[in-house]
């Protein structure tokens, strides 16, 4: 993917990368260090992705898509469930049945998220959103992913402006914790 891709291309590429990581999680031995590491990578990528959507995509959908508010509200609910699941995965032993149950819920939530965007909102936004706005939002998305948070915060604000503020605070802190804890976002 080129560095000048619009927001739809950027987010669709994220979806593929996250789904690829989830495939690797499913094939890793249950309870293994490999699976735990992969889940941490999924968590970091998902959090970064969800924050980028909240900051850059959802305002475009509100502005250019008819009934976009309804679609965004539905996706925000799914996104919050995903973040809650990620937060729970951090506290549950990787060898427990609850961990496996949470992973299944995560896969289901991510699938619902991807379908909601790629089959319902992306086509409508592509048809109605100005190309320049989509390109600029793609650049915003790349910036957000580079410096934004990587740890789940299910009670984060829904407002894009507040999300930017919390991202500016939590992003550097999360990335420092990731480096110190050797939690790589490969």
Q: Is the pLDDT of residue 124 over 90?
A: yes
CATH number of the domain enclosing 167? 1.20.120
**pLDDT single digits (tens) 8-55:** 999 999 999 999 999 999 999 998 999 999 999 999 899 889 989 988
Q: Which two tokens stand for residue 59?
A: 């305002």
Show Cβ contacts of residue 50 under 8 Å, excluding neighbours closer than 6 positions: 79, 82, 83
Q: Residue 64 domain-assigned?
A: yes
Cβ proximity of 15 and 32 under 8 Å = no
Q: Residue 186 domain-assigned?
A: no
Q: Residue 1 domain-assigned?
A: no
Total of domains in the chain: 1
* Mean per-residue pLDDT, 52-72: 91
Q: What are phi and psi of 181, to 5 degrees?
A: -90, 5
Q: Residue 136 domain-assigned?
A: yes
* Mean per-residue pLDDT, 54-59: 91
Cβ proximity of 37 and 65 under 8 Å = no
The better pLDDT of the pair 101, 159 is held by 101
* Mean per-residue pLDDT, 92-96: 92
Q: Residue 103 domain-assigned?
A: yes
Q: Residue 2 domain-assigned?
A: no
Identify the pLDDT of residue 55: 87
Q: Residue 63 domain-assigned?
A: yes
Max avg pLDDT among 9-23, 70-84, 142-156, 167-181: 9-23
Give 71's pLDDT tier (boundaries 50, 70, 90): confident
Name the residue range of residue 57's domain: 7-180
């Amino acid at each position: 993917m080129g560095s000048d891709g619009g927001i739809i291309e950027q987010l669709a590429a994220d979806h593929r990368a996250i789904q690829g990581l989830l495939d690797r999680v499913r094939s890793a031995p249950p309870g293994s260090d490999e699976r735990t590491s992969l889940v941490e990578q999924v968590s970091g990528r998902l959090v970064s992705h969800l924050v980028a959507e909240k900051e850059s995509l959802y305002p475009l959908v509100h502005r250019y898509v008819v009934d976009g508010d309804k679609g965004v509200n539905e996706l925000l609910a799914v996104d919050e469930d995903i973040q809650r699941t990620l937060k729970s995965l951090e506290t549950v032993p990787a060898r427990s049945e609850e961990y496996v149950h949470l992973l299944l819920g995560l896969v289901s939530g991510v699938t619902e998220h991807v379908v909601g965007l790629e089959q319902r909102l992306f086509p409508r936004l592509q048809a109605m959103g100005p190309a320049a706005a989509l390109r600029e939002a793609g650049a915003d998305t790349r910036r957000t992913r580079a410096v934004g948070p990587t740890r789940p915060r299910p009670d984060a604000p829904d407002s894009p402006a507040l999300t930017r503020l919390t991202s500016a605070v939590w992003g550097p802190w999360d990335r420092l914790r990731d480096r110190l804890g050797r939690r790589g976002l490969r």
